[in-house]
């Protein structure tokens, strides 16, 4: 089984998810700068989710590049990940339009947690198919970032009940953690 179409289909779905989010930034009726003011929380949540989806695409790109073999279970684990990613535009818009209300922040964390779990399952399936000595397995190592994300999302869901800005800070922290270049996979592949 070749991975070409799996990559192409995933690229298509992720490209659409990242782009339809922008449709939630509704064109305002006024034509002055004040007309854009109510859009600020919508744009902020768009930027956050754009970065998250960008991180997923980046990691997905590296992971499948390192994978040498895939099977039917990988196809389904991939679809399961795409399902949770497809709910990001909804929860992003809900959060932005309600100015980061606690329940919407909690729901954002829940969807992010499910995406992270789905990614973990996909990663596990690919390693199972490629072997513990595969390039991918070596590249991931202890997978600190993956595990830390699961913990942090869970904390953010709970923290939304105390104060929504704690959750917000955690979401930004997770994004920054992933944005710091992770040379592991690149290095192992180049060797």
Residues that bind its own copies (CB under 8 A): 1-2, 5-9, 11-20, 22-25, 27-28, 31-33, 36, 47, 50, 54, 57-58, 61, 65, 71-73, 75-76, 79, 82-83, 86-87, 89-90, 93-94, 97-98, 101, 103-104, 107, 179, 181-183, 186, 189
In the complex with its own copies, which residue's Cβ is closer, 47 or 169? Answer: 47
In the bound complex, what is the minimum distance in angstroms from residue 94's beta carbon to its own copies?
Answer: 5
In the complex with its own copies, which residue's Cβ is closer, 12 or 158? Answer: 12
In the complex with its own copies, which residue's Cβ is closer, 131 or 151? Answer: 131
Taking the alpha carbons at both ends of the chain, their separation in whole angstroms is 25
In the complex with its own copies, which residue's Cβ is closer, 151 or 181? Answer: 181
Say which residues have a Cβ less than 8 Å from residue 106's Cβ, sequence separation at least 6: 157, 160, 161, 167
In the bound complex, what is the minimum distance in angstroms from residue 148's beta carbon to its own copies?
Answer: 20
CB atoms within 10 A of CB 10: 21
In the bound complex, what is the minimum distance in angstroms from residue 152's beta carbon to its own copies?
Answer: 21
Q: Are 19 and 58 in contact (CB under 8 A)?
A: no
Give the three-class secondary structure for 173. Answer: helix
Chain-centroid distance of CA 45 in Å reads: 13
Helix (H) or strand (E) holding 49: helix 40-66
């Amino acid at each position: 089984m070749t991975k070409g179409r799996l990559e192409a289909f995933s690229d298509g779905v992720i490209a659409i998810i990242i782009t339809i989010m922008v449709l939630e930034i509704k064109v305002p009726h006024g034509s002055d700068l004040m007309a854009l003011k109510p859009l600020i929380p919508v744009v902020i949540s768009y930027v956050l989710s754009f970065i998250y989806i960008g991180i997923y695409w980046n990691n997905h790109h590296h992971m499948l590049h390192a994978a040498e073999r895939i099977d039917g279970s990988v196809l389904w684990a991939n679809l399961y990940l795409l399902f949770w990613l497809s709910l990001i535009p909804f929860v992003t818009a809900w959060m932005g339009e309600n100015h980061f209300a606690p329940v919407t922040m909690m729901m954002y964390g829940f969807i992010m947690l499910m995406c992270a779990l789905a990614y973990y399952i996909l990663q596990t399936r690919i390693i199972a198919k490629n072997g513990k000595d595969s390039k991918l397995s070596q590249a991931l190592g202890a997978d600190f970032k993956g595990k830390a994300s699961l913990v942090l999302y869970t904390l953010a869901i709970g923290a939304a009940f105390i104060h929504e800005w704690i959750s917000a800070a955690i979401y930004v922290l997770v994004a920054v953690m992933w944005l710091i270049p992770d040379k592991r996979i690149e290095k192992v592949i180049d060797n």
